[in-house]
Structure 1
Amino acid sequence: MSSVPNIARPAAQPPQELVPSRYAVKVGDIDVLVISDGVMPIPAVIMAANAAPTDLSDWLGYMYMPPDTFDWPLNVMVVRSGEQTILIDAGLGIQFPGFPRTGQLPQRLASAGIDLASITDVVITHMHMDHVGGLLVEGVKEGLRPDVRIHVNAAEVAFWEAPDFTHTAMPPAVPPVLRSTAQSFANEYRDRIQTFDESYEVAPGVVARRTGGHTPGHSVVALTSRGERLTFAGDAVFPVGFDHPEWSNGFEHDPEEAARVRLSLFREMAESGSLMVATHLPFPSVGRVAISGDAFRWVPVIWDF
């Protein structure tokens, strides 16, 4: 992973998939690889729990999306800064048989030529199952180096000891799975987790910063090098949020704060013109945010082959 071309297509390894599942970006001296963990279908209403059904239906039609189910992309990132290789989030994992199109991270890391043992640090934006589940896949912990550092916000770790789902709007079966997965992750990796409060520089130019909102310790990761910038926004941003930043996602534990975080992040991205990647934007999820009247507009980058 010493250069962007090698990240994008390892030598002597022909493409294994018809549809690309990794995309390389250079941010100054920092190498970035966006990797798709797959796609997870969810009820469309979860994207806009506080929206009128007719308004959501109109938006889905406007976006040429089916009325009932939304295919939720799952993106993670691998970052090389200096001597450190950082995995940002870990996807859903394969311990959830109800989602056969997800849990692709282990084999997609391998196909990109990234050995688990080369990862020095992991940043978890928050402890929902589609961000930590990949670390619970059989063989993953054994493949990681014993001294790997897993960075999670302190408020996030504390929250999942006794999580509050009062303000969420999830299907009834989801909260118990979220709770058990987060607690399994905390127990399994307790000796490797390093907590931080408001922000922490994981590697040169790689800073994890708490935003809260989606979960109490939800964090974004900002990459800065040679005047260039890219922010991994985690679950602060969803596809519907550009047109309707006030619509709350059913997985948000504090919907009002999540909306404030979303608006603040959009304004920050629009003013700076920096790149953004988010977990649930369509792969490769690399683009910029522009202001469009009272709302915002997502501007995907032109793929660089």
Structure 2
Amino acid sequence: MNQTIHKSQEKNMILERTVSADSPRQDELVPSRYALKVGEIDVMVISDGVLPLPTKMLGHNADSATRAAWFSDMFLPADAFDWALNAVVVRSGGKTILIDAGLGSDPDLHLPRAGQLIKRLESAGIDLASVTDVVLTHMHMDHVGGLLVDGVKDRLRPDLQIHVAAAEVKFWEAPDFTRTDMPQGFPDALRAAATRFTREYRNNLRQFDNEHEVAPGVVVCRTGGHTPGHSVVRLSSGGEALTFAGDAVFTVGFDHPDWHNGFEHDPEEAARVRVRLLRQLAETGEMLVATHMPFPSIGRVGIDGDTFRWVPAFWDY
């Protein structure tokens, strides 16, 4: 009996040493990164935190009762929900590529659980100075804000290349919010972040028209819709593929791909882009990751007539 207790105590001491040495702080007791391989390409999905938003944001053109029923069926609150924020780090051809840069510092919108990307990159052992390229799916503040955090630019390489669609840069010279449906304060914050980002990183921008290969097997393609220059990134290697869809796909978009998201600047085109992309992924069976799908958002797409089915990947350790 005493020997059993002694072994149990020894085991607990080992566990305590492991926890104190390797585990995150208590306020970080959540999974925040997930690594996988796409052929020979290394991929890591990193959570930038969550963004609390009104439920109407996921379908402002839908009947309120129908929208409420969907949230009820998904066991989600009826008034507001936590919108995931995901970014991706890719290593291919000797390059380290950051796809989207998270929210950064809170732009006076009271979003304390977002903007975690920079510290989580550090926790993952990714030195900002090692990042050779950044790919932006678009220039909303939750995709560029991490680059605007105080001190970040000084830690990045001076020859950093930031790949973004030319149509996106052009749009933010005089952005049109007339067809969006955002909470108060968001349009001004989005405009301010895009303006500051363009001013601070203009010399690092590498603009493309429709498609551009950033590294072997890493291709960014403009889709439009969500914003005029919105793009997706397709990774392919060794017969495997994964698409980072940015804001083209949201959780509700599988059941209701025609519902308009409040951040979409051209809602009808965004819906067409969403359907085309989901059909393509259902046909190929390729993996999907998206900014606002629940972390780590890795899965595949099933199809049933005019609706789709999200099939989460089993976590692999």
TM-score bracket for the superposition, by shorter chain length: over 0.9
Contact 2:107–2:189 under 8 Å retained in 1: no
Determine if the alignment matches structure 1 residue 210 to structure 2 residue 210: no
Aligned to 2:143: 131
Of 210, 217, 235, 1:223 maps to 235
Of 71, 75, 100, 2:86 maps to 75
Aligned to 1:274: 286
Q: 1:272 is aligned with what amino acid?
A: T
Of 38, 61, 64, 1:50 maps to 61
Q: 2:32 is aligned with what amino acid?
A: S
Write the distance in 1 (CA, Å) between the matches of 2:249 and 2:235.
Answer: 17
Where 2:48 maps in the other structure, the secondary structure is strand
Of 170, 179, 197, 1:185 maps to 197
- Counting only pairs closer than 5 Å after superposition, residues 249-288 of structure 1 correspond to structure 2 as 249-288=261-300
Shift, 1:95, TM fit: 3.5
Where 1:282 maps in the other structure, the secondary structure is coil
Determine if the alignment matches structure 1 residue 14 to structure 2 residue 36: no
Write the distance in 1 (CA, Å) between the matches of 2:308 and 2:263.
Answer: 22
Aligned to 1:105: 117
Where 1:191 maps in the other structure, the secondary structure is helix
Q: 2:187 is aligned with what amino acid?
A: P
Aligned to 2:97: 86
TM-score of the pair, normalised by structure 1: 0.95
Write the distance in 2 (CA, Å) between the matches of 1:82 and 1:251.
Answer: 34
CA, structure 1 residues 197+77, in 2 after alignment: closer, same or farther (shift >3 Å)? same
TM-score of the pair, normalised by structure 2: 0.91
Aligned to 2:13: none
Q: 2:58 is aligned with what amino acid?
A: M
Write the distance in 1 (CA, Å) between the matches of 2:111 and 2:278.
Answer: 31
The percent identity for this pair of structures is 66
Q: 2:52 is aligned with what amino acid?
A: P
Listed as ranges, the gaps of 5+ residues in structure 1 are 1-11
Spell out structure 1 runs of 4+ moving beyond 3 A: none
Shift, 1:75, TM fit: 0.1
Write the distance in 1 (CA, Å) between the matches of 2:236 and 2:76.
Answer: 35
Return the index of the structure with the highest Cα Rg. 2
Listed as ranges, the gaps of 5+ residues in structure 2 are 1-19
Count the aligned residue pairs: 294
Aligned to 1:23: 34
Of 63, 75, 78, 2:74 maps to 63
Write the distance in 2 (CA, Å) between the matches of 1:292 and 1:110.
Answer: 42
Write the distance in 2 (CA, Å) between the matches of 1:198 and 1:293.
Answer: 30
Contact 1:95–1:137 under 8 Å retained in 2: no
Write the distance in 2 (CA, Å) between the matches of 1:15 and 1:32.
Answer: 22
Write the distance in 1 (CA, Å) between the matches of 2:36 and 2:280.
Answer: 21
Aligned CA RMSD, in angstroms, stands at 1.1
Aligned to 1:246: 258
Where 1:240 maps in the other structure, the secondary structure is helix
